[in-house]
Structures are given as structure tokens and as C-alpha cells.
Amino acid sequence: MNGPAEYLAIAFASRDAVIAARLRVSVAELVPDARVVRSRTGIVAALRELATSVDARAHAEALRVRLARATEDDGLSAGVGGPKRGATGAHLALLQAEQAVVIGRAMSGDGAVTMFEDLGPYTFVLGRPESDIREFADRTLGPLADGEQHAELVRTLDAYLRLHGSLNAVARDLYLHRNTVRQRLRRITKLTGADLKNADSRLALQLALLGRSALERLAS
């Protein structure tokens, strides 16, 4: 038995409204053997069943260049998800490809190919529906999930986690007095219910902040 089929997904994104409106047709013409889906405004993904192994990055770049030439859009971007096996894997590959092109474009600009694994730490929170990411961030951060209302506390928490819990380093980084940092950390503990001295709690908070950042980039 050969096992479940293996799938590769490549999402293409254009900021040009006219090109984006025709992108699904253009992708279908370029990759006639693929299942082509529109995931969100300006983004179209092609899902291909692989008969043999391929260099996913090189394959995606070749398709991106051909599609950019056909649409006359030098800023056309691509994101790659997979290869993944089976029907569940195909769905995951599509999700990864969409998230890769959106986050990759926000991180590196237009006109490039971004593999899902290129997203670094974001891969720990992505590869799942945005509703799941939001639910985890809201549950973990509590009121701090509203970044606008608690912007100072979110910046303090981010610095505290990033600087390994050093009050002196946080104070220097944010140009604050140590006592101000302590006061903010007490408020963070009260609002989130998290024990900042516990490694698991700190990891959960760090992932929640990362998820919040990913959602902001996906919405951009």
C-alpha cells in the first residue's frame, strides 16, 4: 500500500485589486491539475496532489514568477504549506500556505515565497484556525487581550518575558523605575491570574502574546 496521498498547497496574494479579482482564474490556468480555492480577499491557493517528491520552495518560486509575469504583478507573493498526507493534511497545508503568505508578506515585503517553516516562532501558534488562536490568547491573557486598553501592561509583560524576568533589564528597556515595573507586574498577575515565577505560566503567556501578534499580522 502506498498510503494516503500527499498534498502541497501554494497560496498567492496580490495587493492590486484588479489582479486579485482575477487571481483565481489566473491560478487555475497556470495549474490546471490543482484544486484552486479563494481563502480571503486577494489570496488564492492551489492544492496539488504530489505524484513524486518536489523541492517545494523552488516549485513555488517557479510558479510565482510565471504567475507574476502573466498578471504583470511584480509584487505577487506566495506562501507554501505542506507537503502533508491525507484529507486532514490537505486542509492543514492550505491553512499553512495562507498564513505563510500573509505573515511572510508582513515580515519580508512583497514579491517573495515564504515557506510555513520560515515563520520561525510563529509556527508554534499558527497552523490552526484563527478562532482557536484568539480563544487561547483571550483565555491566557484575560483582560490584557485588549491590547489598546492595557497597552502599557502588554509592553511590560512582553519585555519581562523577553528579558528573562530581569527587573533591571525591563526598567532600562522601557525607561521606567524598578518600582513602576513591580507595580505593573503585580497588576498583570492580578488581571491574568498567572504566576510569573512559574515557567509553564510564562511560556503560556509568551505563546499568547505571539498568537496575538500573529492575529494582528493576519488581519493587516
What CATH number does the domain containing 210 carry? 1.10.10.2840
Instruction: Check residue 209 and give its pLDDT.
Output: 96
- Whether residue 99 is found in the same domain as residue 169: no
Instruction: Check residue 4 and give its pLDDT.
Output: 87
- Whether residue 87 is found in the same domain as residue 148: no
- Whether residue 115 is found in the same domain as residue 155: no
- Whether residue 93 is found in the same domain as residue 114: yes
Does the residue 47 lie in any domain? yes
Q: Which of 65, 84, 119 is the last residue of a domain?
A: 119
- Whether residue 146 is found in the same domain as residue 63: no
Average pLDDT for consecutive 10-residue bins of the chain (220 residues)? 85 92 92 87 90 93 95 95 94 95 93 96 93 95 87 96 96 96 97 95 96 90
Does the residue 125 lie in any domain? no
- Whether residue 90 is found in the same domain as residue 136: no
Instruction: Check residue 91 and give its pLDDT.
Output: 94
pLDDT in tens, 168-193: 999 999 999 999 999 999 999 999 99
Query: What is the grid cell recorded at 215?
Result: 492575529
- Rounded to two decimals, the pTM is 0.89
Does the residue 156 lie in any domain? yes
Instruction: Check residue 70 and give its pLDDT.
Output: 93
Instruction: Check residue 148 and give its pLDDT.
Output: 80
State which residues form the domain around 58.
6-119
Instruction: Check residue 1 and give its pLDDT.
Output: 46
Does the residue 112 lie in any domain? yes
CA separation, residue 104 to residues 95, 189, 217 (Å): 14, 33, 9
- Whether residue 145 is found in the same domain as residue 200: yes
CATH of the domain at 69: 3.30.70.270
- Whether residue 24 is found in the same domain as residue 113: yes
- Whether residue 82 is found in the same domain as residue 135: no
- Whether residue 106 is found in the same domain as residue 15: yes
Instruction: Check residue 173 and give its pLDDT.
Output: 96
Q: Which of 98, 119, 140 is the last residue of a domain?
A: 119
Give how many domains the chain has, as a whole number.
Answer: 2
- Beta strand 6-13 with 113-115 is unpaired
